[in-house]
Amino acid sequence: MSHNHDHQHDNELDPFAARVRALETILTQKGLIDPAAIDVIVDTYETKIGPRNGAKVVAKAWADPDFAAVLKRDATAAIGSLGYTGRQGEHMQAVFNTADTHNLVVCTLCSCYPWSVLGLPPVWYKAPPYRSRAVIDPRGVLEEFGLTLPRTTKIRVWDSTAELRYLVVPMRPDGTDGWSEERLADLVTRDAMIGTGLAREPA
């Protein structure tokens, strides 16, 4: 085939993209989905829901003991009171790190994750090595994340399900007394809320 005239590139759809289009066509014809609504969902999860939500929850818990108490007792309600509600009807549980115990969240089953507060999970959270190793060797996994905990610190691993998802509340860093919730939220990383990291130290 010569390509020396009229460079007319064809479009290609890879097989996965073509199958998704096929499903969309069928589901739209049947009135089960509305293409415009699909775009809204994509935009929401790409740009509007993310770890900033969770960081605000954690910062409020650090700054407001009453809120922390509610968060501990009924995380679904506490998080919902800030306007973050799960679409899948899941319940939330907040697990608080202490000097003795570090919490780590995984979903060994698939990739259940607290979307409403953290957005969609990072690639490694969904990948087989994390899903299997977080349970077998949490200390080793944390070391790969650059987090070496004292041997005396217990690590509790929480296995998420479709019905129950976990949010780790990291320990509040020293030197942040009197900080506003907004300023505190900047110290709370996504990894700290999964348990593969700690909150940032104040600069």
Partner 1 sequence: MNRREANSKTAALPLGVDEPVFAEPWQAEAFAMTVALHDKGLFSWSEWAEALSAEVKKPGAASDGHDYYEHWLTALEKVLSAKGVAGRGDVDALAAAWERAAHATPHGKPILLENDPSPTEGRGGPTG
Residue 107 falls in the annotated catalytic set: yes
- Report d(CA 94, CA 92) in Å as an integer: 7
Q: Closer to partner 1 at the Cβ: 121 or 195?
A: 121
- Residue linked to tokens 């973050």: 84
Residues 6 or more apart in contact with residue 137 via CB below 8 angstroms: none
Binding to partner 1 by residue 143, rule CB under 8 A? no
| Minimum separation from the CB atom of position 1 to partner 1 (A) | 15
Q: Applying CB under 8 A, what is the total number of residues that bind partner 1?
A: 61
Residue 160 falls in the annotated catalytic set: no
- Report d(CA 104, CA 153) in Å as an integer: 12
Candidates 37, 83, 151, 175; binder of partner 1 (CB under 8 A) is 37
The answer to whether 171 and 145 are in contact (CB under 8 A) is no
Which residue from 98, 110, 115 is spatially nearest to 166, judged by alpha carbons? 115
| Alpha-carbon separation of residue 94 from 20, 25, 46, 139 (angstroms) | 36, 40, 24, 21
Binding to partner 1 by residue 41, rule CB under 8 A? yes
Candidates 124, 147, 173, 186; binder of partner 1 (CB under 8 A) is 124
Q: Using CA of residue 30, residue 36, residue 42, residue 44, what is the dihedral sign?
A: negative
Q: Please list every residue from 87 through 106 that binds partner 1, using CB under 8 A.
A: 87-90
Which residue from 65, 53, 75, 99 is spatially nearest to 198, judged by alpha carbons? 99
Q: Closer to partner 1 at the Cβ: 56 or 190?
A: 190
Candidates 82, 145, 181, 186; binder of partner 1 (CB under 8 A) is 145
Enumerate the active-site residues.
107, 110-112
Report the interface residues with partner 1, using CB under 8 A: 8-27, 29-30, 32-34, 37-39, 41-42, 45-46, 87-90, 109-112, 119-124, 126-133, 136, 141, 144-145, 161-163
